[in-house]
Structure 1
């Protein structure tokens, strides 16, 4: 080939190109973004609408249904789901993969504008938002100390602005903050004595707390603005505010109430490692590098720590970049280990450091070139792309090995180094290009795979492709050039023969003997191979299936839910009981964050009957138990805590992919669905592997409905609004005015003492004041009724729906899903009601279908490439017989390692379709070369000579590919679980297939050669 000859004749040019590639690759590597996984593109949009004080049924009928109908006609819509709860509606639209979400959002907004007119008065304007699962905090930082007020002030005034100034930070949210407010606690007896109402105090405060411009006066040549200043300047100003009584006298506010500079009553509590705290959740900008942003924050921690008041300290609770760094380091370590193993294998075979370096240079050049191509295609440096490099490490030297081996052959025949390099490389370059192309084309059908499987593994496919293309170019240019300059001594035999060569000779002799036997017993060989392949299928039921491997990130979440309507104090007491149980895990727990009531720690909403623990465990290498083991143990320990439903779950890489098990129940009536959901939860909870099964049906909060008797109220000159506002003031408080201090604004709130607003008796005995000043008992004006409060109503594609979800533990997803389907099929569903499997189980089935189609197309493309290479349809067909044997290796590997068939394993099978034929291509191509007139070998002699001559390069390429993947196959280090199924599939599949290639392919070759001869003889006759 001209390219080979040019590279040998012009070594300086090749060297300069290599140096340029190294320089460009180094710059590209420095600028690559680092993340845990590639970005997952979920085409989802949401429409949020408020409708205050409306019941869920009204929200569903008046808000959710019209919006559902309007957006259902948008092109590309796959599913429309809605959640209707008291006061708000949320409609979620899931689009088909490949939909232009920007255009879809414009269409949704247009349709929403058309339906706004039919929405009821009081409904808020619908907001259309893009759903982005990646917008989660990258770090949680706790600020601990004894003074809650100081914690909030320092967090909001010092730390939030400081963190938001760091490069790449988008926003910082303070959780557990104590809002400062001025409370005016009214004294009922004083109010009655002076004849003052709460409204009078509110009016007085607002009148005294005003500033206004009142005109302009001249002073010489200047105009002076006239401004009356009346804002409160201190708490004493509020106390001394004058209030006019009904008799015309004036009294001060502190004569009627106690004025307190304090904090608003909290709806929740946050604690970090058992200490009272506020927590700062930090969000990064969309295009920012997670690791870089986290590094900026960590680097600045010492600076902000030194500026904090005494007694306050910061503590990183969860830093998502730590796991990313550990995972990336593990993969890099596996790459280096795999590279070292490949280098040692080459050195063992070649017995020459120079020859090993000639081939080994293909690895760094291919990797550096890959970094350059990744940068220009916008890929990130993540676990999967680096895993692709680790997986392709052994394959990078395959082409170089074959080329160098053939150069050796010509050198041993007496050719000069230059002639050997040109002739040896040129002769096998077409076969090498064909074998590399077959590996590359298997990734083309991935373009047609949609969803998460495509988002996750297309970057891996691109990375492997880049590396193989770079290594191929190096094999046909750099290797011949270096061989012509460096291998003068490497090809000389001197003294006693190399021990490994003697060992290979024995292996070669043994292989030659076995090859003679299989050629003499062709039927036995073929039927024996078929029996082995069919027999391996018996392993399928024992393997199972799963969607994506879960990685041990060491993050746990404990959800506590007490009875609906439980007070914050009761939930806190249950949380304390849980905390006592969790002290047994202090040795494996790094940090923990408790949130009772208020907002959940991970951006989840909750209420006074809910509490959430988020825990970061020590790295997996520092503990003897896996996160799943700890989850099981912790679940058993917390089952004994009374008064609450407690669930424990691990947070891992698959957490963003939805619940493993999601059963969607559909039917016309919400009430029937609730009963059906409870029954399904009971049924599936008894299935082995199902963990924390729960229904989305919520129990309503207990409420006291107050029905005003309009006629009785009118007798006292009262309206329903006046009664409502007085009840609200008594039990909730009322914001009367604003107080500004040092640039901060806080509420001035009127309220009654807590002991007058705690019980039902306080409600019944409450006095309602009319405009005439008369007082009347509330009980005489209203009817009180205790009821269950509203719940959330869900719909899917405009039909009522409820979801039953579950985690899985101890078993594979496929087996559990099969058992659940069997149990549900045995249930008697009412007419008109049905179930669908969703979540990861649905995604798994969909992805397996897409990948199966991709596998079929990959096999066809491999055949097509070989047909073009050989210009023959028969020889590629012979080579394809190496593919069925991979089934044996794949199933055996998954069975031995205890791994289920997952998306990564399926990707490994697709890759095998292009890898396993490489050895067969080299073998069959060499048989054909030996049978040409130039050599004149008979078929039998050609097969024996080709087999024994190609055994060495086949062993080298196979061993370098397999052994380079062993570190990944052993899942060494953090985050390696994602690539383990892929590596195991290739290791076992390639190993078993290589054996079949060396023995079965020659037999198939002879059978088809005989068949061809018979057909040609008949034609001649």
Structure 2
């Protein structure tokens, strides 16, 4: 080991060169890393989305979802297959096993969908196949308003949409609100019948008259000319004069049979910003795109275009995810700097300025090496990475503290700088390596976590492991070189003349060792039964409390905004939905609420969410409400959300969900119950009973089910026999009905660079009567007008709003959330007890999904990860100590840390969740370091003793070794713990604005993890300094007596009565 250290001391120039290279390369890596909220992960989810406008949910299931499911299920590696069939669209959600390559699966699904295309209706839109990522949420929401018409605002928004979509990294832009120009050919049924035309002839005539096609080439002499037939409509009047045909030798034009109107398309969505009519644009990014770069490029387009817009145009960024990321990253950087400051201050108190500076060099060097490595691995500078660095920061100095403190001890013992540096580093190299590996191996199993949560959080163990290995390299290579150059011994003259604050702390610590720690150890060893008994009782009580502790998935954090989602009964008109939205807007504008709110945006008819930016649906609405700054609020944000929920959900007949944004990865609804079966009536009955149970559980809110009556239907049941008598096929009849009542886009009308639909349809006034449908006439081959009532039975019915299937079976899903202060896991336990008593028909089954399922799966993996971590730690310890006994004694520190963990969660009033579990696994690798540092030195001191020393001398050797190792044990524990303080209390210093920030949402999300490590480490350290020496002394004493007994047996024989037992 000495030669390894001596090599770098001999070649200082290489070490200095490496130092310079690390500084420049590390800083370059840090500044070039993309900033994101969460890591870019490849999720094993693929969606197939198909639009078929005007088609009922059950028909969507049979015509679209089932044929696609039958093809997709042939793709290998599918774990779950879900589908939702609603009015006008089908969405199939395929979840693959973690080991499946998503890109390969995506191509296979596309191939299967292409194979199924012939089985789908010809007029259904092409299915879209896409993978799911965190990018399926808007990164930028922009509001346009002005003191002029919504038509012009919509045009401006559409122009922006075209420019935004050309930005590299933008995947989709959705425009909500405003009016869209449309040329409508409104057919008069009486004239249609009088002139003997059909709806299909209208569409065909408009399409045929509006052409612009090449006619080939014409060679004249030595030149060749292109032949074009430019015959597109140049004005609306051209459309009116389109020739349909002749009747009684008279030319019949479009205007003779229909009204051609230059008007607006029926508005299907509305948008308002703070109650002012507006048009909203939502921008989504492609997977892998840099959010901040994309947002900046979009803003540049807006800034460049804004001077050319009409006077009075107001553009507001109502939601800017790039700013949120910047803010989150800045907050975590500030937290990191505060942690660094606390650690350096502690080092100064314990080690003095010179020693502290030498030790502190490990922090920036290790960080920079970490940035170099993780950038090479493709990591981005995201929230998980920054939290990992914050947790890591306090541990980075552990190795350097042990190395430098040992060098300093030898220097004070009279060694020269070279010898002290070589021997000091070499002496502790093995225990330092062992302690590093135990911590790395504790985190390592977390890197193999599969699923969405695991894909996000696996960046934490990788980042921490890279940082710890970097700190080991710096401590063994750089610190001895720096110590040999700058470190100097402590002299009595310094102490007597002008004792510094670190010297006074050092004196106090020496006094504490002699007056308190040594007597405590003597008492503990003499009263080992009491010490072990008390520790065992404390451990058992902690285990009892842990088992009974409430469980949670991710902790709730203070949100920056919240959503009010509204779902009206199917068939509700847009105007009716908007009336309710205006009532809720009035609630938000009440003085008690307005004082806490910055702004709100109301989107009616389109929420702007989903994989394609959302679909128009008159029954839905969303209000996105943003809070003012946290320090200006009258109450905690979640309490404000609870208050507004109570006010906003009092309107009967509507499903109103008030929910706060989540900072963690989405894991489904907090409470989700799925019932599988085929009969909708039975499923609906079970759903009603489950909802009733949920309503009885205190604190359960936002209760909804996926089964409800859909839009009222008028079913046209075609009599195939009668239809064939008149020469009609069912498809012809269906298309005539669809053209008349939904409309058919016959052609496009171009005006400059703009393009507008030419739509053939009945007048809206004609579509409010059931009799109009019955009287709709179809032109037979013989020229006879046949009423629809002669060809089909027309009846009223009510279908389902949507049909959901999971793994090829229909399902009912009931979901809910909980109020602030009520844990979903606790509420779910109450619900499960009552649901278990429900009589369940044969063929129907209940299972609990959503957050609960994810939590159970995560806890199962984390339990395996903890066992694996302990096994790996044990292997490393056995390899170092060449013994099973000492490693087992060291692992007692893990059991002792559980006492602190439970105490910490109780004191901070937190549940035992997934992040606390991760903290426990981390703790298993951290706390053993104290035992390694302590017992490795104890054994080193004991090896220097002679074999014939007395029991009292052996005890004193143990105590003296513990006293010598007290400083590094305390220092490494305190620095690790202090590095976690900003995360624990959610406090940070904004170094740019020079202010203290409280309750940073991102930091607070990781508070349970920080609590577990902080309290577990601190209490374990105190107990380790007492309990581990006691257990070691008992074992060592037993081992000595065992050796003595074997020696006596060897000398006198087994029958000697004087042999000690």
TM-score per shorter chain, which class? Answer: over 0.9
Structure 2 CA distance for aligned equivalents of residues 864 and 767 of structure 1: 85
CA deviation profile, 1:402-423 (whole Å, cap 9, x unmatched):
1222222212222222222222
Q: 1:690 aligns with which of 697, 700, 703?
A: 700
1:222–1:500: structure 2 CA closer, same or farther, 3 Å change rule? closer
1:582–1:655: structure 2 CA closer, same or farther, 3 Å change rule? farther
RMSD: 3.3
1:711–1:247: structure 2 CA closer, same or farther, 3 Å change rule? same
- Comparing 370-379 with 143-152, greater Cα deviation is found at 143-152
What does residue range 917-996 of structure 1 map to in structure 2 within 5 Å? 917-933=928-944, 938-972=953-987, 973-996=1000-1023
1:345–1:186: structure 2 CA closer, same or farther, 3 Å change rule? same
Structure 1 CA distance for aligned equivalents of residues 650 and 717 of structure 2: 42
Q: Is the 8 A contact 1:137 1:283 kept in 2?
A: yes
Q: Is the 8 A contact 1:689 1:808 kept in 2?
A: yes
Question: Is residue 303 of structure 2 the alignment partner of residue 302 of structure 1?
Answer: yes
Question: Is residue 487 of structure 2 the alignment partner of residue 505 of structure 1?
Answer: no
Q: Is the 8 A contact 1:176 1:269 kept in 2?
A: yes
| Structure 2 partner of 1:571 | 577
| Structure 1 partner of 2:663 | 653
SS class of match (1:998) = helix
Shift of 1:846: 1.2
CA deviation profile, 1:946-983 (whole Å, cap 9, x unmatched):
22222222221111111111001112324112321111
Q: Is the 8 A contact 2:655 2:704 kept in 1?
A: no
Structure 1 CA distance for aligned equivalents of residues 107 and 733 of structure 2: 46
What does residue range 38-117 of structure 1 map to in structure 2 within 5 Å? 38-47=39-48, 60=61, 64=65, 68=69, 71-72=72-73, 74-85=75-86, 89-105=90-106
- Comparing 384-393 with 600-609, greater Cα deviation is found at 600-609
Structure 1 CA distance for aligned equivalents of residues 113 and 739 of structure 2: 38
Question: Is residue 690 of structure 2 the alignment partner of residue 680 of structure 1?
Answer: yes
What does residue range 474-623 of structure 1 map to in structure 2 within 5 Å? 474-488=474-488, 493-494=493-494, 495=496, 497=499, 498-508=503-513, 509-540=515-546, 543-584=549-590, 585-598=593-606, 600-602=608-610, 603-605=613-615, 607-623=617-633
Q: Is the 8 A contact 1:384 1:979 kept in 2?
A: no
Structure 2 CA distance for aligned equivalents of residues 477 and 935 of structure 1: 34
Structure 1 CA distance for aligned equivalents of residues 823 and 511 of structure 2: 45
Shift of 1:379: 1.6
CA deviation profile, 1:877-910 (whole Å, cap 9, x unmatched):
2212111111111111111112211222111111
Structure 1 CA distance for aligned equivalents of residues 803 and 878 of structure 2: 60
Structure 2 CA distance for aligned equivalents of residues 613 and 918 of structure 1: 52
| Structure 1 partner of 2:324 | 323
Structure 2 CA distance for aligned equivalents of residues 215 and 927 of structure 1: 96
Question: Is residue 863 of structure 2 the alignment partner of residue 858 of structure 1?
Answer: no
CA deviation profile, 1:700-723 (whole Å, cap 9, x unmatched):
211223456789889999987777
SS class of match (1:697) = coil
- Comparing 39-48 with 119-128, greater Cα deviation is found at 119-128
Q: Is the 8 A contact 2:977 2:1014 kept in 1?
A: yes
| Structure 1 partner of 2:1025 | 998
| Structure 1 partner of 2:154 | 152
TM-score (norm 2): 0.89
- Comparing 859-868 with 881-890, greater Cα deviation is found at 859-868
What does residue range 334-373 of structure 1 map to in structure 2 within 5 Å? 334-350=335-351, 352-373=352-373
Structure 2 CA distance for aligned equivalents of residues 119 and 194 of structure 1: 36
1:793–1:416: structure 2 CA closer, same or farther, 3 Å change rule? same
1:408–1:177: structure 2 CA closer, same or farther, 3 Å change rule? same
Structure 2 CA distance for aligned equivalents of residues 668 and 184 of structure 1: 44
Shift of 1:55: 6.3
Structure 2 CA distance for aligned equivalents of residues 714 and 480 of structure 1: 97
TM-score (norm 1): 0.92
- Comparing 789-798 with 113-122, greater Cα deviation is found at 113-122
1:429–1:209: structure 2 CA closer, same or farther, 3 Å change rule? closer
SS class of match (1:883) = helix
SS class of match (1:549) = coil
Structure 1 CA distance for aligned equivalents of residues 191 and 124 of structure 2: 41
- Comparing 431-440 with 146-155, greater Cα deviation is found at 146-155
CA deviation profile, 1:484-533 (whole Å, cap 9, x unmatched):
22223655642254432343234222111211111111101110111111
1:473–1:935: structure 2 CA closer, same or farther, 3 Å change rule? farther
Q: Is the 8 A contact 1:138 1:320 kept in 2?
A: yes
Structure 1 CA distance for aligned equivalents of residues 721 and 76 of structure 2: 54
Gaps of 5+ in 1: none
CA deviation profile, 1:295-315 (whole Å, cap 9, x unmatched):
333344322222322232322
Structure 2 CA distance for aligned equivalents of residues 776 and 67 of structure 1: 37
- Comparing 171-180 with 63-72, greater Cα deviation is found at 63-72
1:76–1:8: structure 2 CA closer, same or farther, 3 Å change rule? same
Shift of 1:999: 0.5
- Comparing 451-460 with 105-114, greater Cα deviation is found at 105-114
Q: 2:711 aligns with which of 677, 694, 701?
A: 701
| Structure 2 partner of 1:381 | 381
Shift of 1:43: 1.4
Q: 2:845 aligns with which of 830, 834, 851?
A: 834
SS class of match (2:420) = helix
Structure 2 CA distance for aligned equivalents of residues 82 and 64 of structure 1: 7
Q: Is the 8 A contact 1:546 1:902 kept in 2?
A: yes
Q: Is the 8 A contact 1:929 1:935 kept in 2?
A: no
Structure 1 CA distance for aligned equivalents of residues 698 and 551 of structure 2: 15
Structure 1 CA distance for aligned equivalents of residues 731 and 375 of structure 2: 64
